[in-house]
């Protein structure tokens, strides 16, 4: 099926202004690199997501579901297939008592502000993570001693046929940077998170303190995908990289951050290939010098 044929069929499902052909992924991932996707769609309703998801599965068309693009890297050749972007186009929420019912395109920062404004505590740890709720659920995002598994009550998931099922916290199989979404062909549509009553000033102070820690310890001024590597058992990736004398190491426009060695950054118009080659150099050097195999946390997708 050609891109134009695919576009014509998608127009029967979703408004044509929400369909983009040959869309540069540089505009859609936090690394600011990557070639074009054949087609990118931005659905606004559950029905649109259901119909798109069913259509792509029924026709065996490759697809990628993404949120804010803060934990993925698209290669320079782009993505052959359809990218489904579930971000600010699908991000409403409501508050019922101490619970927040949230569509998965909502940014974690927006959820954090809303929780604070409603005197709800428990989400502060996630308020500075640069991603959407959907990505946070898929990876059981965590920071500063908190994890999504500690606050999620239930998640509504869509299977490959468009059927929606509700999973409990336990059924989500949350683990370190893992959930059932890591293993199954499903999309998170919405979730209920359970928070607690708190005091506005205390919540605000904690959020500001965590934001300060991020600014001073992480290279937020450069495009990146956050922590590039998972934490190996018994070690810290950043320390392993620093102890291997890789702080400041670079390939093309990609560099190991001098502020935090666990971050690979796009400091000077890097290509995706620059970043991938630097990641591989880090992995081989750390293994040679420290005997530890690093596994990237960022997902690398697309064509060379």
At 189-217, the pLDDT tens digits run 999 999 999 999 999 999 999 999 999 99
Contact criterion met (CB below 8 Å) for 75 and 35: yes
Contact criterion met (CB below 8 Å) for 50 and 162: yes
The residues of the chain that CATH labels 3.30.465.10 are 93-217
The residues of the chain that CATH labels 3.90.78.10 are 237-301
Which pLDDT does position 161 carry in this prediction?
82
Q: Which fold has domain 3-85?
A: 3.30.43
**Catalytic hit among 154, 227, 244, 261:** 227
Identify the bridge partners of residue 36 per DSSP, sorted by sequence position.
24
Active site residue 42: no
Which CATH architecture describes the domain 93-217? 2-Layer Sandwich (3.30)
Active site residue 297: yes
Contact criterion met (CB below 8 Å) for 247 and 256: yes
Residue in 158, 197, 125, 149 with CA at minimum distance from that of residue 57: 158
pLDDT at residue 1 is higher than 90: no
Active site residue 184: no
**Chain Cα centroid distance, residue 167:** 20
The residues of the chain that CATH labels 3.30.43.10 are 3-85
Query: At 155, phi and psi to the nearest 5?
Result: -135, 135
**Catalytic hit among 23, 30, 42, 177:** 177
- The model's confidence at residue 61, banded by pLDDT at 50, 70 and 90, is very high
Which CATH architecture describes the domain 237-301? Alpha-Beta Complex (3.90)
Q: Could you tell me the pTM of the whole model?
A: 0.91
**Count of other CB atoms within 10 angstroms of residue 278:** 23
pLDDT at residue 132 is higher than 90: yes
């Amino acid at each position: 099926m050609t891109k134009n044929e695919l576009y014509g069929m998608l127009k029967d499902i979703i408004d044509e202004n929400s369909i983009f052909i040959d869309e540069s992924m540089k505009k859609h991932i936090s690394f600011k690199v990557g070639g074009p996707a054949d087609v990118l769609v931005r659905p606004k309703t559950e029905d649109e997501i259901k119909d798109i998801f069913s259509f792509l599965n029924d026709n065996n068309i490759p697809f990628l579901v993404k949120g804010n693009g803060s934990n993925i890297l698209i290669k320079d050749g782009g993505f052959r297939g359809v990218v489904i972007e579930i971000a600010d186009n699908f991000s409403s929420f409501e508050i019922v008592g101490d619970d927040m019912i949230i569509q998965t395109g909502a940014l974690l920062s927006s959820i954090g502000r809303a929780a604070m404004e409603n005197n709800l505590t428990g989400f502060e740890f996630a308020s500075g993570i640069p991603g959407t709720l959907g990505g946070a659920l898929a990876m059981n995002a965590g920071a500063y001693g908190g994890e999504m598994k500690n606050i999620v009550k239930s998640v509504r998931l869509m299977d490959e046929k468009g059927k929606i099922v509700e999973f409990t916290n336990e059924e989500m199989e949350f683990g370190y940077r893992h959930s059932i979404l890591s293993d199954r062909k499903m999309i998170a549509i919405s979730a209920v998170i359970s928070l607690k009553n708190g005091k506005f000033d205390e919540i605000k102070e904690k959020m500001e303190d965590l934001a300060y820690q991020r600014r001073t310890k992480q290279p937020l001024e450069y495009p990146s995908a956050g922590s590039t590597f998972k934490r190996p058992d018994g070690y810290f990736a950043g320390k392993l990289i620093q102890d291997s004398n890789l702080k400041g190491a670079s390939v093309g426009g990609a560099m190991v951050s001098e502020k935090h060695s666990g971050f690979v950054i796009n400091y000077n118009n890097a290509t995706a290939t620059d970043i991938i080659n630097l990641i591989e150099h880090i992995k081989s050097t750390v293994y040679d010098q420290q005997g530890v195999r690093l596994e990237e946390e960022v997902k690398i997708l697309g064509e060379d």
